[in-house]
A = this chain, B = another copy of it.
Amino acid sequence: MGRKQSYTESELLDLTKRLVLEHGYDGFHLKLLSQHLPGARSTIYQYYANKEEIVAACMKRVITSVIEKASAIDESDTMQALQVLLGIYVEESKLHQLLGDAHKINTTNSAAASRDLDVVEQAHATLKVQLTRLFQRAQQDKNLREDIPLPVLIGGFFNLINTPNMINIPTPEWSKLLFQMWMGGAQQ
C-alpha cells in the first residue's frame, strides 16, 4: 500500500552524474537537480539528506561498476589486457573528471557520504594496483621502451582516456586506435 515513487534512486543518481559533469561539483545543487526531475525539490530529501550524500553515492556507484568490469579482465596476455582495460576506461571516460571533485565534498556533516567516499578511495587504489601490476609485467616482458620512465608511460596511457573522439567512431574501435597510437607512436 501507499503511493508509488515518481522516480527511482537509479534515475536520480544517473541524473546527478550528468549534472555534476556539466556544472561541476560547486555548480551542482538540489534545486537544479529537482528542475530535471518530476515533482518538488523537497521530495529529493526522501532519498538523500543533502547534496553531499547524493554526489558521494553517485561516485561510489560509478566507480563500483568500473571495478566490476576491470576485475573480470583476463590478464594472461599482458598487452591484450592493457588494451581491454583502456577500452573500459574510455567507455567510462568521464569517471576521472567526476572523481576529481571528490575532495570537494564536505563529509563532516554526513557519515553516509564519508562511508561512500571511503569505498571510492578503496576502489581507486584497487584500480591503481591492477594498472601497476600490468605495467610491471609489460616491462619485465620487455614490451616497453626503457629510455622513458615508467611513470611517464603509465601517465601517458591513462591520459589517453581524455582524448576527444573527434572522428566519432564507436568506442571499441576508438580505444583500439588510441592503444595503437600509444604503443607505436605517431612517427612513421
Contacts and interface: CB of A to CB of B under 8 A. Distances in A.
A105 to B, nearest CB: 13
A177 interface: yes
A184 B183 CA distance: 8
Contact of A181 (B146, B153, B165, B177): B153
A67 to B, nearest CB: 22
A92 to B, nearest CB: 17
A27 B29 CA distance: 11
Query: What is the total number of copies of this protein in its complex?
Result: 2
A144 B185 CA distance: 9
B143 A188 contact: yes
Nearest to A161: B159
Contacts of A1: none
A108 interface: no
B186 A145 contact: yes
A145 B181 CA distance: 9
A162 interface: yes
19 contacts: A23-B24, A23-B26, A24-B26, A26-B26, A26-B28, A27-B27, A143-B188, A144-B188, A145-B184, A145-B186, A145-B188, A152-B163, A152-B166, A153-B181, A153-B186, A155-B166, A156-B178, A159-B162, A185-B186
Interface of A: 23-28, 142-149, 151-153, 155-157, 159-160, 162-167, 177-178, 180-188
